[in-house]
Amino acid sequence: MINYIKVFKHLFFIPFFIISSCNLFKSNKVPSSDIKSASSWSSNDEKPSFNECEDLDKKESFNCFESIVSESILKYISEEIIEVNGEIDEEINIVINVDKEGFFSLLSIDASDFVKNSIQGIDEIIENAVYNIPQALPAVKVNVEEYVNTKFELPIRILSQESL
């Protein structure tokens, strides 16, 4: 005959043991300073790149990346017919985002009112030029092995002269 009291005692203690040893009830709070330092850009992280730049060292690779971005924007702008009112010799700054999939988008344009008034549609021209940059290899945050969005600033010098 089975001793039900002994079986009951064992069944009672087994679930209690499982529940009391469970780690689901522990709270692991990570300090915000640790999160900030882990998410800060480090020299080990990989900046966005293009396939053509992959076999170069880090500095040369980023120079190659900047060159491809600049040439792509210049090529697009040079193919546009742009009307300019007056002479211009100014630098504008654009902020570009490279998303987790390597696509480019324009975040902002810092241009004087003079430039904006002298070149009709400059915002749209630059935005289209940025969207026409070929897809890149996205930046990688190495410590978490994740693709990340990155942004960078690119200066553009605008020179125009009145034709004779």
- Reported pTM: 0.72
Mapped onto helix, strand or coil, the DSSP state of residue 157 is strand
Question: Which range among 22-26, 60-64, 74-78 shows the weakest confidence by mean pLDDT?
Answer: 22-26
Alpha helices in 109-156, H assignment, sequence order: 113-118, 122-131
Instruction: In whole angstroms, give the CA distance from residue 92 to residue 110.
Output: 6
Cα torsion 47, 52, 57, 58 to 10°: value is -10
pLDDT at 163 over 80: no
Mean pLDDT for 25-42 is: 59
- Of 72, 77, 70, the C-alpha closest to 121 is 77
CB 151 within 8 A of CB 97: yes
pLDDT tens-digit series, residues 63-95: 999 999 999 999 998 898 888 888 889 999 999
Could you tell me which of 64, 45, 36, 62 has the C-alpha nearest to residue 152?
A: 62
User: How far apart are the C-alpha atoms of 106 and 98, rounded to whole Å?
Assistant: 9
- Please determine, for residue 21, whether its predicted confidence score (pLDDT) is greater than 70: no
Q: What percentage of residues in the chain have a pLDDT greater than 90?
A: 44
- Give the orientation angle of helix 58-79 with respect to helix 122-131, to 10 degrees: 130
Q: What is the CA radius of gyration of the chain?
A: 29
